[in-house]
């Protein structure tokens, strides 16, 4: 099919590459231009989002935050200007569920379907084509796009209507943040008590405390490799969505608020660009002890 992809950064570029590898003709556009590697695969560079939408039947977005999605969709030379009836817009960014519902209504008014399809799995999952994809929107559009989702991910679920995909992603980010915090506390406790945190992590991976975060981010904490797969500043954005949504719902999320404050403490020390496993640095600062020596 003719597909468009807007936002070809750390996540978007490999995702777009999987679509080309699956045999689709891809029209791309990004603030920093279409990467040469994608052009070499056959991607066709477009001048703006409207041009992408004119050429493609299904238009994917992967940009940082709610205002960016709104600008790409409805700004000057945005997607909406290039749409014609029957096309499908798929936003794979992680943004506000409330705004998503409003965006969907505007796209629907143009005779097009809208899917919100945020992902989990980070840069590693994007490159490997193993992302978890949480989808909100109509069944028919989902079935049309599902083969393309399968080129980019492995765990693909239609959760419900528009906005429900984004709500699921917010829930995911709550769990991830709190689990990073728990792994950080556990390994910090072990290290301070004099145990080898690397061996403690290995032992825990064989028991009920095992998790993907203990496996991947626990290793980052021990090896002090905080180069980003998913930046703290982006996780802060996602937890802001959770906390703002909770206020609107009259709901308390105390542990989520704590995790956000720990992220903020690291960001205040200049660590907003670190991988979100770097949350442990806030715990280490309070303990005056690091799990392992920094490189």
Q: Write b or e for each residue in 239-272: b if 16 or more Cβ atoms lie within 10 A of its Cβ, otherwise e.
A: bebbbebbeeeeeebeebeebbebbebbbeeebb
237 catalytic, yes or no? no
Q: How many of the other CB atoms lie within 10 Å of CB of 114?
A: 23
With CA atoms as reference, report the closest residue to 97 among 230, 257, 245, 234: 245
Rounded Cα–Cα distance for residues 188 and 289 (Å): 8
Rounded Cα–Cα distance for residues 140 and 115 (Å): 10
Among the listed residues 2, 169, 223, 237, the single catalytic one is 169
Rounded Cα–Cα distance for residues 165 and 171 (Å): 10
**Residues catalogued as catalytic:** 169
């Amino acid at each position: 099919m003719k597909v468009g992809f807007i936002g070809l950064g750390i996540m978007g570029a490999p995702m777009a590459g999987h679509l080309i590898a699956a045999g689709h003709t891809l029209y791309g556009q990004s603030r920093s231009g279409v990467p040469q590697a994608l052009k070499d695969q056959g991607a066709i560079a477009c001048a703006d989002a409207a041009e992408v939408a004119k050429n493609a039947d299904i238009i994917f977005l992967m940009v940082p935050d709610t205002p960016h999605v709104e600008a790409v969709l409805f700004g000057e030379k945005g997607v909406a200007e290039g749409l014609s009836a029957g096309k499908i817009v798929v936003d794979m960014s992680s943004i506000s569920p409330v705004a998503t519902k409003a965006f969907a209504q505007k796209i629907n008014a143009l005779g097009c379907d809208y899917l919100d399809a945020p992902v989990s799995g980070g840069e590693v999952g994007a490159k490997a084509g193993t992302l978890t994809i949480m989808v909100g929107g109509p069944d028919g559009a989902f079935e049309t796009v599902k083969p393309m989702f399968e080129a980019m991910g492995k765990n693909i679920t239609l959760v419900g209507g528009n906005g429900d995909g984004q709500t699921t992603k917010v829930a995911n980010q709550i769990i991830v943040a709190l689990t990073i915090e728990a792994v950080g506390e556990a390994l910090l406790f072990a290290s301070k008590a004099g145990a080898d945190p690397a061996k403690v992590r290995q032992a825990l991976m064989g028991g009920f405390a095992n998790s993907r975060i203990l496996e991947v981010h626990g290793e980052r904490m021990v090896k002090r490799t905080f180069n980003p797969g998913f930046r703290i500043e982006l996780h802060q954005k996602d937890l802001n969505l959770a906390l703002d949504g909770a206020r609107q719902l009259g709901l308390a999320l105390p542990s989520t608020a704590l995790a956000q404050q720990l992220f903020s403490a690291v960001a205040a020390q200049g660590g907003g660009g670190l991988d979100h496993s770097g949350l442990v640095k806030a715990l280490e600062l309070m303990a005056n002890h690091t799990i392992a020596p920094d490189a």
